[in-house]
Amino acid sequence: MRISYREAMRQALHDALASDPRVFLMGEDVGRYGGTYAVSKGFYDEFGPERIRDTPLSELGFVGAGIGAALGGMRPIVEVMTVNFSLLALDQIVNSAALLRHMSGGQVSVPLVIRMATGAGRQLAAQHSHSLENWYAHIPGIRVLAPATIADARGMLAPALADPDPVVMFEHAQLYNMEGKLPDNWQCDIERAAIRRPGSQLSLITYGGSLPKALDAAAELARDGIDVEVVDLRVLRPLDTETIAESVSRTHRAVIVDEGWRSGSLAAEVMARIVENCFYDLDAPPVRVCSEEVPIPYAKHMEGAALPQPAKIVAAVREVLNV
């Protein structure tokens, strides 16, 4: 069955709401409006305003309320419209959700799922194009997910809700319209990275909205006889070092693609783990393809130039392979 990423996410949310009365969805325009990205369209009528709860523009307030509701026995799914606005709720996510278990000496857990759109590519300019997954991936106490395929959009929410600790889920806005076949076995874990395309000469490691770009680049390289492996991190915290190291030990080379800015990026963390774990297997220095260090511009050609693109990925791979 071919469905869109949006539809896969919608089905996942529907399953969760229909199967567990403790689950409710809360956020800006999730209800009557149907969700900013139309992911929760129709839910308001089906599940009612209590469980499909429209909120005021109060990110700090409603994310905090989600944390409190999780403490109180519910399984809230809080939708923050985009990662840009999540900065208004950063205090509650970092100072409460991530810390309560530890500060209480293990007495309480916060079974909360926070979903947010992320990323650039739609000419939304500097304040609506952030890719700050690495900020959240820095924090002990939360799990960070980046579903980048139809199957992960369908499968990741259930284990995220089953996780007793806070889970932050990043949905790249460019992926919602992506269509593909939903495999029969879309159920998945939220532990491991996945090899999306096996290859022998180089590991192309990426996540989220950069995955389709990396796969495009790999396909183009394959036409020239260059055989590249594509690794989808999927889980940005805790990182699956084992899969990364296994792949790079085999291919001996790595290019990391990350829409975040290069300095202090997730790509930097991945590279550090490669060097820590695979130094003696490396046949060339690892290379990063990240966003240029500039706020994301509005003009289309400038925005495109600021972001990782298949052509940049191809060039980086060729540089590392010296071909």
Positions that interact with other proteins (CB under 8 A): 24, 50-51, 55-56, 58, 60-74, 76, 91-92, 95-96, 100-109, 140-141, 143, 159, 162-165, 189-191, 252, 279-285, 319-320, 322
Measured over the CA atoms of residue 234, residue 238, residue 239 and residue 240, the dihedral's sign is negative
Minimal distance in Å, beta carbon 212 to other proteins?
A: 27
Least distance (Å) between residue 169 CB and other proteins: 14
Nearest to 231 by CA among 253, 198, 260: 198
**Got the DSSP string for 161-186?**
HH-SS-EEEEEEGGGTT-EEE--TT-
Alpha helix stretches (DSSP H) within the chain = 5-19, 43-47, 59-71, 83-86, 90-91, 100-103, 133-137, 150-155, 157-162, 210-223, 241-251, 266-278, 300-306, 310-321
- Minimal distance in Å, beta carbon 278 to other proteins? 9
Of 5, 23, 7, nearest to 161 by C-alpha is: 23
165/220 with CB nearer other proteins: 165
State residue 114 phi and psi, 5-degree precision.
Answer: -110, 120
CB of 155 to other proteins, least distance (A): 13
Residue 272 CB burial class (10 angstroms; 0-12, 13-18, ≥19): exposed
Cβ proximity to other proteins: between 42 and 164 the closer is 164
Are 132 and 169 contacting, i.e. CB atoms less than 8 angstroms apart?
no
Closest distance to other proteins from the beta carbon of 270 (Å): 18
Answer for the pair 310, 216: CB distance below 8 angstroms, yes or no.
yes
Report, in Å, the least distance between residue 299 CB and other proteins. Answer: 33
Is residue 7 annotated as a catalytic residue, yes or no? no
Reading the block at residue 67, the tokens are 């944390």
Q: Quick one: 102 or 181, whose CB is closer to other proteins?
A: 102
Of 19 and 95, which CB lies nearer to other proteins in the complex structure? Answer: 95
Active-site option among 28, 59, 79, 303: 59
**Whether residue 269 lies in the annotated active site:** no
Q: Exactly one of 128, 130, 171, 229 is catalytic; which is it? A: 128
- Identify which of residues 94 and 125 has a Cβ nearer to other proteins in the complex: 94
Which residue number, 145 or 175, has a Cβ lying nearer to other proteins?
Answer: 145
Residue 171: which residues within 8 A CB-CB, separation 6 or more?
Answer: 5, 9, 37, 115, 116, 117, 118, 147, 153
Cα–Cα–Cα angle for 319, 322, 323, rounded to 5 degrees: 105
Instruction: Give the active site residues.
Output: 59, 128
